[in-house]
Amino acid sequence: MSDTAGTVPDALKILVAGGFGAGKTTLVAALSEVESLHTEELITAESIGVDDLDGVESKTTTTVALDFGRITLDARTVIYMFGTPGQRRFSFMWDELAEGALGAIVLADTRRLEDCFETIDFFERRGVPFIVAVNCFDGIRSHMPGDVRIALDVDSGVPVMLCDARDRESVKRVMIELVSHVLELELSGA
């Protein structure tokens, strides 16, 4: 019988959550080393009155189940990213996706910051460590992380940072911040 303990990678599960149109699908695609999987569907007339397109009027598709991507850190460690759907009508997926998650990135769009409240509450209630990454869209006024922290009323121990969900290096910094935050919490016993 061979010893496979040294060859089986440690799988880390990270969620990418946030409001409708915040850039979750884009973030997962920017960081994944494999072609990311997306369950995108066209936004149709059926969403009128159901999905709020204020601030994201040019959005033509939406995630209806999840996004998936993978990052191999080393021979032993693989990160699996799961992007959650942003609309409330698909929130039943969140419980399933959160099962076994190491932590989460809450992607915030300052044009629709109120969309983050439900997501933040979800992770706080379940004790899932998270950070807030403010997606800096072209042509949109940038806000300082401290101002976003106050607006979202998140604890001072929760990292809040700016990012560009389209830029791999920017998204890498977000992922590093999340993993560092989770390790810090583990070491402090929080």
Q: What's the confidence (pLDDT) of residue 1?
A: 43
Positive or negative, the CA dihedral 103, 63, 115, 119 is negative
**Token pair 């300052």 in the structure block, residue:** 110
Secondary structure element (H or E) that encloses residue 126, with its range: helix 116-126
- With cut-offs at 50, 70 and 90, classify the pLDDT of residue 171: very high
- Mean of the per-residue pLDDT values for the chain? 82
| Whether pLDDT at 136 is above 80 | yes
Length of the chain counted residue by residue: 190
Check if the beta carbon of residue 146 is closer than 8 Å to that of residue 162: no
User: What span, in angstroms and rounded, lies between the C-alpha atoms of 142 and 19?
Assistant: 18
Secondary structure element (H or E) that encloses residue 103, with its range: strand 103-108
Looking at per-residue confidence, does 9 or 20 come out higher? 20
- Compute how many other C-beta atoms are within 10 angstroms of the C-beta atom of residue 73: 13
**Token pair 């990012």 in the structure block, residue:** 163
| Whether pLDDT at 114 is above 70 | yes
Rg (CA), the chain: 17
User: What span, in angstroms and rounded, lies between the C-alpha atoms of 16 and 143?
Assistant: 21
Tell me the domain boundaries of the chain. 10-188
Of all residues in the chain, the percent with pLDDT exceeding 70 is 74
| Residues facing residue 77 across a β-bridge | 10, 74
Enter the CATH code of domain 10-188: 3.40.50.300
Cut 0.85: pTM above it: no
Q: Which two tokens stand for residue 41?
A: 């569907």
